[in-house]
Amino acid sequence: MRSLWEYANPRLFMGWTGTALPWLWALGLGLTALGLIWGFFFTGDDFRMGSTVKIIYIHVPSALMAINGYFLMFVAALIWLIRRQPVSALVGRAAAPVGLVMTLIGLVTGAIWGQPMWGTWWAWDPRLTSFLILALFYLGYIALWEAISDPELAADLTAMLAIVGSVFAVLSRYAARFWNQGLHQGTSVPVATGGRTIDDVFFWPLACAMVGFFFLFVALTLVRARTEVRARRLSVLTAREAG
C-alpha cells in the first residue's frame, strides 16, 4: 500500500493525472452541459424573477468554486510549507488563475442578474464586497508568483501570502458584514442545516452544474499543474545544457 504522499511525487503525479484527466474532463464538461441545458431549456421560469433565475446555474457554481479555489490554495500552501511537496506548490500556482476567473464570472453574472432584479449593477453588500476583495487577493497571489524568479523562494513566499491572505479574507468577510447590511439573499442550499429554500425543479440542474463546475475546476487546475511540472523539467534541462 502506497502512502498518500507518494502520489505527489512529480513522476507519479504526471502518471495518475494523465490517466484521470480524460475522465475529469468528461465529467466536468458533461455535467456542466447537462446542468446548463437542463436548467436553461427544461425548467420553467420563476414566478417572480422570470427567466433571469436561470443565471443561477452559472452564478452559484462559479461562486462556489471561487471560494473553494482559494481554500485549495490555502491547503496547498500548508502542505508545501510543512512537507515541502513541490507538486503542491505548483498546484497552488495553477489554481490561482482558474479561481480568479471563477470569481470574475461570479461577479459579472451577479451584476447581470442584479441589474433587472435589484435595479443596480452593483451594491456594496457584504457578499459582493468580499468577492471583490477575494479577486484582489487572487491578483496579489498571482503577481507575487510572477515577480520572483527563484521557484523555491516564490513557492515559500506565495504560500505565506496565501495563508495570511486566507485569514484576512475571512476577517474582511465579517468586517464587511459589520459595515453594511446585505442586499444579497441568503443561500438557497444551506449545507449545515440540510434544508432547502429552492424547489427540486431548480435544485437538481443546479446540483448538476455545481458538480460539473467542480470537476471542470479540478481538470483545469491539473492541466495547468502538469504544464508547470513540464516547464520546471524543461528549465532544469536547459540549465543543464547551458551549464
Partner 1 sequence: MIALLRRDLTLALRSSGGFGLGLAFFVIVLVLTPFAVGPDPAGLAAIAPGMPWLAALLAVLLTLDRLFAIDAEDGTLEQLALALPLEAAFVAKALAHWLTTGAMIALIAPALGLLLYLPQSAYAPLFLGLLIGTPSLSFIGAFGAALTVAVKRGGLLLSLLVLPLYVPTLILGAEAARRGAAGLSYETPLLLLGALSLVSLAAMPFAGAAALRASLR
Binding site for partner 1 (CB under 8 A): 133, 136-137, 139-140, 143-144, 147-148, 150, 153, 156-157, 160-161, 163-165, 167-168, 171-172, 175-176, 178-179
> Residues 34, 41: contact at Cβ < 8 Å?
no
**CA dist list (Å): 195 to 56, 63, 138, 207:** 18, 20, 32, 14
Locus of grid cell 523539467: 233
CB of 73 to partner 1, least distance (A): 14
5 versus 168: smaller Cβ distance to partner 1:
168
User: Nine-digit cell at 3?
Assistant: 502512502
Smallest distance, partner 1 to C-beta of residue 127, A: 14
Shortest separation between residue 35's beta carbon and partner 1, angstroms: 32
| Cβ(96)–Cβ(137) below 8 Å | no
Q: How far is the CB of 66 from partner 1 (least distance, A)?
A: 15
- Residue nearer to partner 1 on the CB measure, 170 or 236: 170
Cα angle 229-233-234, degrees, rounded to a multiple of 5: 115
For partner 1, the closer of residues 47 and 178 by Cβ is 178
Per the listing, cell 421560469 goes with 45
At its nearest, how many Å lie between partner 1 and the CB of residue 177?
10
DSSP state of 1: -
Closest contact distance (angstroms) between CB of 201 and partner 1 is 39
**CB of 153 or CB of 237, closer to partner 1:** 153
Q: Which amino acid is at 53?
A: V
Nearer to partner 1, 140 or 182 (CB): 140
DSSP 8-state class, residue 45: P
- What span, in angstroms and rounded, lies between the C-alpha atoms of 69 and 148? 22
CB 74 within 8 A of CB 163: yes
Q: Which is nearer to partner 1, 12 or 171 (CB)?
A: 171
